[in-house]
């Protein structure tokens, strides 16, 4: 008896029952597709998350936002009344603060240049933004302290904005309008790509914060301030000091909720870990359970297959099959369908992940680890699912089976 | 070739009366014999067939096949004996559905340890006169043709002994005659054939007829007129 001949015979048996084989494959196909999909997307999302966090926080920083969070979904507080004076006072009174940058934002401003127009996120920043947010210009020059002091109408534009308004022309020195206010372009912002929310960080314009507050928005509050902390190990206690100073300045009584939100790099790290647990524990667990369900379906179908093929089993025994040959045949039939379904599922899951990640500009490749894990688990469930049916088939008495 | 000595087989069902299917059966079958085993339903003829085919184990007695006691072999060795030395033909054909004649015939080769198996299936189909039906699916064949496919399957490993259990039971008269003539020509070619039937007209084709009643062989008749076997 050669195993090759037996394997061929198993494959032929599967071919005779295409519908049942198809349903058996479907179980592991769906399970493995789900598993490779969540693992591949998960790895991409984790990378994106870490990139975004690094962009926003760097190694050691605190972001104070007025009124309640728009940073990664913090709690919403009272009406915003965070001011430039608040930010300056923090830098003055909390000695660990090394540098700071206030920020104001218009989420969707209409920007025009001649006939071309675009909807753009406009950020008001100080000249220190270049260092505090670690984002400079790739062409041209950043605005200086004098520009901020004088509410100059200077604009640094992202690459997406540059493309939309200038289509290959040199934007440096050209004039654009934000709303109805004219600005002169002095630089192109360094490329940042999309963030974890899928927002294009290159569809942004940075202008001096004073200009944003007075000429574009007409507000006297800032949206947030980012503080760089000297010692990365003292971020948490610096955050406490910041809270104390701000609550004092806002005259908040004991027990009254804060009207500002603090995000520290260490707190964000904890959030990232929570997200990672979802990405790499809970989602794969759910996918694994669907694989398990697929295994149970395969086992049930194989059991019914054994019952339906009692005569065939008897015949095979009569023409010389040993009990172990029968057992091996049914094990191979479940294993082959499980691995086959697993291969298709891995292709489907990876393909879908790469396609969707591409559309969200996550930039992801096929994860060999996820594919290997999916196929290995499919093979394992297939073998386990085959054990009971194969045993039952092997124990059939030939004389009884042929009746 | 075959010698049964005092074979007994009793079925014990839990809670039921034990059923004696074979009671002290002794029988000799020579090489080249063409023997019918006849009896009514429940007489024990199918049990005798299963014992001869190593599909069932007797409780008592000895079964010598070419001098070797095969009744006591372990299941794997018995499977090997069935594969190499015995061919089976069943009343219900037991062909695999949605499968060609050739694939059905080649099934025993799956379990064979022969290295060279190419062409064996084709040759077996030629022997039963189905050379032109090799790629036909079993559902495209008549009952008589299906049974001839089953005979080719029994022949594919070139066994010495053919066991046929009511091989014409599911066939019309014409097909039955075809199938019996295949058996006759195989017997003329030297094969030992044991055929179980309840039908005297089928038994009439055989050289010897053993009659079984209530698990015992009660008579063995020689039919010289139709004795066409290799026995002198």
Q: For chains A and B, count residue pairs whose Cβ atoms are closer than 8 Å.
A: 74
Q: Are B196 and B165 in contact (CB under 8 A)?
A: yes
Mean pLDDT of A137-148: 89
In this prediction, residue A362 carries a pLDDT of: 72
Q: What are phi and psi of A88, to 5 degrees?
A: -65, -40
Give the residue ranges of DSSP H helices in chain B: 45-52, 75-85, 101-105, 107-110, 120-127, 143-155, 173-188, 200-203
Tell me which of A265-269, A337-341, B111-115, B215-219 is least confident: A265-269
Instruction: Say if the ipTM goes beyond 0.90.
Output: yes
Rounded Cα distance, A71 and A192, in Å: 17
Say whether B99 and A16 touch across the interface (CB within 8 A). Answer: yes
**Predicted local confidence at residue A57, as pLDDT:** 79
d(C-alpha B134, C-alpha A257), whole Å: 88
User: Same structural domain for residues A100 and A151?
Assistant: yes
* Structural element, H or E, at residue B35: strand B34-38
Residue A183 lies in a domain: yes
pLDDT at A198: 75
Q: Average pLDDT over chain A, rounded to whole?
A: 87
> Chain A: which residues have CB within 8 Å of chain B?
1-2, 5-6, 8-9, 12, 16, 311-312, 314-325, 397-399, 402
Q: Is the same domain home to A336 and A223?
A: no
Could you list the beta-strand ranges (E) of A114-234: 116-125, 137-140, 154-157, 175-178, 181-189, 204-208, 224-229
B3's tokens: 């010698």
Instruction: Work out the angle at residue B57's Cα, subtended by the Cα atoms of residues A318 and A313, and round it to the nearest 5 degrees.
Output: 25
A325 Cβ contact partners less than 8 Å away, ≥ 6 residues apart: A1, A6, A316, B79, B111
Residue of A183, A131, A178, A188 whose CA lies nearest to A156: A188
pLDDT tens readout for residues A198-254: 788 899 999 999 998 888 888 888 888 999 888 888 888 888 888 889 888 888 888
Residue B122: count of CB within 10 angstroms of its CB: 16
Q: What is the pLDDT along chain B (232 residues), one digit of tens a residue?
A: 999 999 999 998 888 889 999 999 999 999 999 999 999 988 999 999 999 999 999 999 999 999 999 999 999 999 999 999 999 999 999 999 899 999 999 999 999 988 888 899 999 999 999 999 999 999 999 999 999 999 999 999 999 999 999 999 999 999 999 999 999 999 999 999 999 999 999 999 999 999 999 999 999 999 765 444 444 3
Lowest-confidence range among A94-103, A356-365, B53-62? A356-365
Q: How many CB atoms lie within 10 A of CB B18?
A: 9
Domains for chain B: give ranges and CATH numbers. Answer: 31-54+74-226 (3.40.50.300)
Same domain, yes or no: A95 and A200: yes
A16–B96 CB contact, under 8 Å: yes
* Residue A71 resides in a domain: no
Residue A1 or residue B91, greater confidence: B91
Give the predicted TM-score (pTM) of the model: 0.77
Same domain for A183 and A279, yes or no, is no
Q: Minimal CA–CA distance to A178: which of A200, A198, A194, A156?
A: A156
Same domain for A297 and A243: no
The secondary element (H helix, E strand) that includes residue B192 is strand B192-197
Interior CA angle at B115 toward B113 and B118, to 5°? 115
**Domain encompassing residue A223:** 81-258
| B 159-218 near A (Cβ less than 8 A) | none
Backbone φ and ψ of B146, nearest 5°: -60, -40
More confident call, A196 vs A142? A142
**Residue A321 DSSP SS3:** coil
Q: Quick check: is A58 in a domain?
A: no
Q: Report the range of poorest mean pLDDT among A40-54, A276-290, A330-344, B32-46.
A: A40-54
Suggest the residue from A319, A323, A324, A395 to mutate for an interface test with chain B (most B CBs closer than 10 A). Answer: A319
Question: Taking a C-beta distance cutoff of 8 angstroms, is the pair A262, A246 a contact?
Answer: no
Average pLDDT over residues A336-358: 91
User: Of B94, B98, B113, which is closest to A16 when you measure between CB atoms?
Assistant: B98
Cross-chain CB nearest to A325 (options B94, B98, B111):
B111
Task: Mark which of A258, A287, A304 sits at the end of a domain.
Answer: A258
Q: Give yes or no: residues A167 and A251 share one domain.
A: yes
- Could you tell me if residue A225 is inside a domain? yes
> Both A283 and A394 in a single domain?
yes
B49: left (phi over 0), alpha (psi -120 to 50) or beta: alpha
What average pLDDT does the segment A69-97 reach? 70
Burial class (CB in 10 A: 0-12, 13-18, 19+), B160: middle
On the question of pLDDT at A363 being above 80, the answer is no
Same domain membership, residue A141 and residue A98? yes
Residue A350 has a pLDDT of 92
- Which of B110, B115, B155 to probe the A interface (max A CBs under 10 A)? B110
Give the mean model confidence (pLDDT) for residues A155-162: 91
Same domain, A277 and A252: no
Nearest to B95 by CA among B136, B36, B46, B38: B136
Q: Is residue A65 part of a domain?
A: no
Query: How far, in Å, are A33, A282, A285, A296, A344 from residue A289 at the CA level?
Result: 12, 10, 6, 10, 18
**Chain A residues touching B56 at Cβ < 8 A:** 397, 399
Distance from CA of B80 to the nearest CA of A (A): 6
Share of chain A above pLDDT 70, in %: 96
pLDDT value at position A2? 74
Q: How confident is the model at residue A366 (pLDDT cuts 50, 70, 90)?
A: confident
Q: Would A196 be classed as within a structural domain? A: yes
**Confidence at residue B22, expressed as pLDDT on a 0 to 100 scale:** 95
Q: A54: which 2 tokens? A: 């690094």
Whether residue A315 has pLDDT greater than 90:
yes
CA-to-CA distance for A86 and A88, rounded, in angstroms? 6
Chain A within 8 Å of B134 (Cβ-Cβ)?
A: no
**Same domain assignment for residues A325 and A349:** yes
Number of structural domains (chain A) is 2
Domain boundary among A258, A283, A303: A258
Structural domain includes residue A356: yes
Q: What average pLDDT does this structure show over A120-143?
A: 90
| B91 close to A (CB below 8 A) | no
Rounded CA-CA distance A394/A378 in Å is 23
Report d(CA A156, CA A139) in Å as an integer: 10
**Chain A residues inside the 8 Å CB shell of B98:** 16
- Regarding whether A86 and A25 lie in a shared domain, the answer is no
> What pLDDT is stored for residue A80 in this prediction?
64
Out of B55, B111, B153, closest to residue A399 by CB = B55
- Rounded to a whole number, what is the distance in Å from the CA of B225 to chain A's nearest CA? 34
Compute the distance between CA of residue B157 and CA of residue B32 in angstroms, rounded to an integer: 17
pLDDT at A66 over 70: yes
Query: Do A243 and A346 belong to one domain?
Result: no
Residues of B in contact with A6 (CB under 8 A): 110-111
Residue A171 falls inside a structural domain: yes
Q: What is the pLDDT of residue A75?
A: 43
Q: Using a CB–CB cutoff of 8 Å, tell me whether B73 touches chain A.
A: no
């Amino acid at each position: 008896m050669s195993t090759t001949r037996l394997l061929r015979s198993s494959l032929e048996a599967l071919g005779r029952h295409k519908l049942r084989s198809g349903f058996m494959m479907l179980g592991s196909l769906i399970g493995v597709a789900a598993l490779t999909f969540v693992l591949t997307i998960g790895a991409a999302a984790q990378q994106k998350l870490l990139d975004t966090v690094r962009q926003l926080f760097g190694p050691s920083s605190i972001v104070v936002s007025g009124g309640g969070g728009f940073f990664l979904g913090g709690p919403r507080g009272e009406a915003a009344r965070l001011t430039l004076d608040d930010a300056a006072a923090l830098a003055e009174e909390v000695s660990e603060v090394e540098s700071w940058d206030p920020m104001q934002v218009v989420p969707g401003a209409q920007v025009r240049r001649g006939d071309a127009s675009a909807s753009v996120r406009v950020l008001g920043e100080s000249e220190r933004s270049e260092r505090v947010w670690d984002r400079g210009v790739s062409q041209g020059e950043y605005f200086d302290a004098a520009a901020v002091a004088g509410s100059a109408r200077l604009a640094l534009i992202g690459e997406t904005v540059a493309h939309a308004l200038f289509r290959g022309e040199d934007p440096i020195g050209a004039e654009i309008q934000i709303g109805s206010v004219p600005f002169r372009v002095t630089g192109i912002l360094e490329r940042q790509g999309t963030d974890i929310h899928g927002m294009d960080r290159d569809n942004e314009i940075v202008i001096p914060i004073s200009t944003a507050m007075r000429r574009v928005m007409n507000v006297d509050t800032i949206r947030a301030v980012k503080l760089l902390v000297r010692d990365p190990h003292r971020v948490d206690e610096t955050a406490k000091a910041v809270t104390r100073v701000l609550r004092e300045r806002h005259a908040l009584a004991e027990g009254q909720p804060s009207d500002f939100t603090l995000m520290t790099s260490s707190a964000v790290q904890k959030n990232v870990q929570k997200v990672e647990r979802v990405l790499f524990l809970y989602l794969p667990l759910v996918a694994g359970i669907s694989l398990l369900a697929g295994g149970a379906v395969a086992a049930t179908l194989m059991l019914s297959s054994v019952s339906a093929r009692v005569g065939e089993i008897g015949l095979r025994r009569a023409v010389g099959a040993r009990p172990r040959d029968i057992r091996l045949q049914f094990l191979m039939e479940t294993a082959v369908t499980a691995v086959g379904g697993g291969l298709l599922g891995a292709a489907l899951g990876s393909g879908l992940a790469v396609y969707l990640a591409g559309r969200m500009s996550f930039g992801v490749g096929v994860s060999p680890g996820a594919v290997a894990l999916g196929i290995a688990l499919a093979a394992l469930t297939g073998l386990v699912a085959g054990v009971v049916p194969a045993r039952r088939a092997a124990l059939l008495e030939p004389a009884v089976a042929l009746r | 070739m075959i010698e049964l000595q005092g074979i007994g087989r009793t079925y014990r069902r839990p809670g039921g009366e034990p059923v004696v299917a074979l009671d002290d059966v002794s029988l000799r079958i020579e090489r080249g014999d063409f023997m019918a085993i006849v009896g009514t339903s429940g007489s024990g003829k199918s049990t005798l067939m299963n014992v001869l085919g190593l599909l069932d184990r007797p409780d008592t007695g000895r079964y010598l096949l070419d001098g070797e006691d095969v009744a006591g072999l372990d299941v794997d060795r018995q499977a090997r004996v069935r594969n190499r030395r015995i061919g089976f033909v069943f009343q219900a054909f037991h062909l695999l559905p949605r499968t060609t004649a050739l694939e059905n015939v080649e099934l025993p080769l799956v379990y064979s340890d022969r290295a060279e198996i190419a062409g064996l299936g084709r040759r077996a189909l030629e022997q039963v006169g189905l050379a032109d039906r090799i790629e036909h699916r079993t559902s495209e064949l008549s009952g008589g043709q299906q049974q001839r496919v089953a005979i080719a399957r029994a022949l594919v490993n070139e066994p010495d002994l053919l066991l046929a259990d009511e091989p014409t039971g599911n066939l019309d008269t014409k097909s039955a005659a075809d199938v019996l003539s295949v058996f006759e020509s195989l017997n003329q070619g030297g094969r030992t054939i044991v055929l179980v039937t309840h039908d005297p007209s089928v038994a009439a084709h055989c050289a010897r007829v053993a009659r079984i009643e209530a698990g015992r062989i009660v008579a063995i008749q020689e039919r010289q007129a139709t004795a066409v076997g290799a026995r002198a």
